[in-house]
Structure 1
Amino acid sequence: MADLAVFYEHPQWFEALFRALDRRGLSWTPIEIQSHTFDPADATLPAPVILNRLAMSSFLRQEEHALFYSQAVLDHWQSLGARVINGAGVLAYDTNKARQLSLFRKAGLDIPRTRVAHRRADVPRLAAEIGYPVMVKVNVGGSGTGMIRYDSAGELEAAVADGLTPVGVDGVALVQEYVPARDGRVIRCEVLDGKLLYALALDGAGSTFDLCPADVCMVDKPTITISAFDPAPKMAAAVERVATLSGLDVGGIEYMIDDRDGRAKFYDLNALSNFVAKPLEVLGWDPHERLVDYLLGEIGARRRAAA
């Protein structure tokens, strides 16, 4: 049996990770999510440590996506004793923006004013409670999809009447105030093992809702510029608090500074937040090496527990 299994959906996104695993000599096996099936009565594990690399945006690439399937199989492996990194508990947040917002509030953080609905007919009433402009978002998002800004009641009511407001794969929608991000900037904080790994400033974020900073994401976003960012200690502590509360092992947490009042508004947790493109240029070091160090530590812990 391999020491590590990597459960993944988008092969191009993980080429750098796979190279790092091979370069460091790890015994690992790939599990392609698309063709995977499992037997709930089978107690065989693919590896004692399993790294989940499911992308929420997989539903954009596959009509028969594996978002909810993955929760079941990861929970199955975890129940058999595997160490699942970003397991089913984390996916329960990753696949639910409404739960993410509740989590941020539990952590004592500000969020955009939001209402959650499961019927399209309720959206105009909720938007009136918040005030325009509003964002209508799908609850299960990925790569900025399913997000539309409406500037007036008439515009939104017409979209509702025509059945054109966003509805996600779970039928849940968020009606959220439009927050003007100061300087058009979003801060993405990457965490690993409950600690801040690095942070990025994504400038020009007002031009697109797709803020993925990885190599394969950047080809169609020339208006986005990315630079290393050093969050204030209280912001780093806030990010780490969210990671601890959610059980997030590795991933991204995003916030922006509301230009109206200068307060940080947290809005997204992403358990598959790809590492930045050209990390040596942006950060001066490669975060994949830190991830492999972490994986080796988890593998060593499993070995000691089994001895």
Structure 2
Amino acid sequence: MKKIYVIHENSEWTVHLTRRLEELGLPYEEWHLDKGMINLLEEPPEGVFYSRMSASSHTRDHRFAAELTAQVLAWLEFHGRTVINGSKALQLEVSKVLQYLELTKVGVKTPKTIAAAGSDQIIEAAKVFEGQSFITKHNRAGKGLGVQLFQSIETLKAYVQSEAFEEPVDGITLIQEYIYSPESFITRCEFVGGKFVYAVKVDTSEGFELCPADACSIGDLFCPVGEEVEEKPKFEIIPDFYDPILENYAQVLAANDIQVAGIEFIRNEAGEIFTYDINTNTNYNSDAEAKAGKYGMLELAKFLGEELKKI
């Protein structure tokens, strides 16, 4: 029987989708690729294959989940299967350098960034931003990995040469200009089926490591999920959001065969938009969605069901 295959490595992030698939009566099967094998002598089953592989999978002791998934996706695509968020999507998911290059192709402004490998090179790269604030982050990131704000090269040097320094899993650290947002929030634009669904305003006043999922295992101090006691919610869906940049985002997604993504941007003091992240393993916040009456996982489940009908 044809079915929807959900490729992932984190059940806590996937249960919200499978519940929606069950509500719609859609047949599905989970492929949890923290480990596994591919028999190249066999053809994959018929169906729709949706990849939710995350760039941060290694932080959950799934060190080679992304690498295994890349091979599985290549196998599926070789046999002509319908793959949602396939090989190109995964390539962007695990590399912010590739994200910025693809965004730049269609005229989307990204923060000034230098990629460096090695502590000496990180310090050398930061000299470009001397006299201004800058941040570091991991090239293969997710959940704010390696994000640190610095006011001076001396402070960066002390950090890089200390035990507190977080070594990126791919060895590449990004040194990036700090975009100051006077209202301390970023905007995340959600796309399903390559089409814009909604934009959510995310409060960043308490830190950089923000995840919209209702259940996540990142274990950091700033995870805002489920903090219902706050008067000011971390996540708010913006009613009737529109900006011309949405058309550019849709171009980027189409050019890279990405059907499902959350794209994040920040506005500086002059109101200019700087886009800094394409997340192809997108999650949604149920509190914000309930207040707005919009449901990302439901739209995603419906989209997967329509794709299944086409086979």
Fold shared, TM-score > 0.5 on shorter chain: yes
What's the % identity of the aligned pairs? Answer: 26
1:22 CA drift (Å): 1.4
Corresponding letter in the other structure for 1:148: Q
**Partner secondary structure for residue 34 of structure 2:** coil
In structure 1, C-alpha distance between the alignment counterparts of 2:44 and 2:292, rounded to whole Å = 36
Mapped pair 1:7 → 2:46: no
C-alpha displacement at 1:224, in angstroms? 5.7
CA distance in 2, matches of 1:220, 1:137: 25
Alignment of 1:143-222 (within 5 A): 143-162=143-162, 164-203=164-203, 205-217=204-216, 218-219=225-226
Structure 1 112/90 Cα, relative in aligned 2: closer, same or farther at 3 Å?
A: same
C-alpha distance in 1, partners of 2:16/2:154? 48
Q: Is 2:27 the partner of 1:17?
A: no
Q: Structure 1 counterpart of 2:284, which letter?
A: F
Q: Is the 8 A contact 1:256 1:264 kept in 2?
A: yes
Residues 90-114 of structure 1 show CA distances to partners (whole Å, capped at 9, x for unaligned) of: 1101100111111111120111111
SS in 2 for 1:281: helix
Q: Which residue of 2 aligns with 1:111?
A: 110
2:26 is the alignment partner of 1:26: yes
Greater CA drift, 116-125 or 135-144? 116-125
Distance 1:42 1:4 in 2: 22
What's the counterpart of residue 36 of structure 2?
Answer: 36
2:237–2:289 contact (8 Å) kept in structure 1: no
Counterpart in the other structure of 2:305: 296
Higher helix share: 1
Give the Cα separation in 1 of the matches to 2:235 and 2:64: 30
Q: Is the 8 A contact 2:261 2:282 kept in 1?
A: yes
CA contact (8 A) 1:114 1:130 kept: no
Q: Please, which moves more after superposition, 141-150 or 87-96?
A: 141-150
1:125 corresponding residue in structure 2: 124
Instruction: Give the 3-state SS of the residue equivalent to 2:88 in structure 1.
Output: helix
Of the candidates 287, 292, 300, which is equivalent to residue 283 of structure 1?
292
Q: Is the 8 A contact 1:187 1:200 kept in 2?
A: yes
Partner of 1:207: helix, strand, or coil? Answer: coil
Once residues 146 and 157 of structure 2 are traced to their aligned partners in structure 1, the CA distance between those partners, rounded to angstroms, is: 17
Rounded Cα–Cα distance in structure 1 between residues aligned with 2:82 and 2:9: 20
Query: Does residue 1:100 correspond to 2:119, yes or no?
Result: no
State the AA in 2 paired with 1:136: T
Instruction: Tell me how far apart the structure 1 counterparts of residues 289 and 202 of structure 2 sit (CA, whole Å).
Output: 17
Write the letter of the residue equivalent to 1:84.
Answer: V
Q: Is the 8 A contact 2:192 2:260 kept in 1?
A: yes
**Structure 1 CA distance for aligned equivalents of residues 253 and 72 of structure 2:** 23
Q: Is the 8 A contact 2:35 2:65 kept in 1?
A: no
Conservation of the 8 A alpha-carbon contact between 1:105 and 1:111: yes
Seen in structure 2, the aligned counterparts of structure 1 residues 263 and 300 have a Cα distance that, compared at 3 Å, is: same
Amino acid at match of 1:144: G
Query: Corresponding residue for 2:255?
Result: 245
- AA matched with 2:157: E
1:24-47 alpha-carbon deviations (Å, 9 max, x no partner): 1112111111232212x2332144
> CA separation in 2, counterparts of 1:36 and 1:46?
16
CA distance in 1, matches of 2:233, 2:124: 34
Q: TM-score, normalised by structure 2?
A: 0.89
1:256 maps to which residue?
Answer: 266
Aligned residues: 299
- SS at 1:210 equivalent: coil
Q: 1:290, CA displacement in angstroms?
A: 1.6
Match of 2:276 among 261, 267, 271: 267
Runs of 5+ unmatched residues, structure 1: 303-307
User: 1:148·1:166 contact (CA, 8 Å) conserved in 2?
Assistant: no
CA RMSD after TM alignment: 2.0
Contact preservation (8 Å) 1:251, 1:269: yes
Give TM-score scaled by structure 1 length: 0.90
Q: Match of 1:305?
A: none
Amino acid across the alignment from 2:53: L
What is the rounded CA distance, in whole Å, between the counterparts of 1:224 and 1:173 in structure 2? 32
Question: Conserved in 2, the CA contact under 8 Å of 1:186 and 1:202?
Answer: yes
Which residue identity does 1:155 align to in structure 2? T
Distance 1:206 1:44 in 2: 50
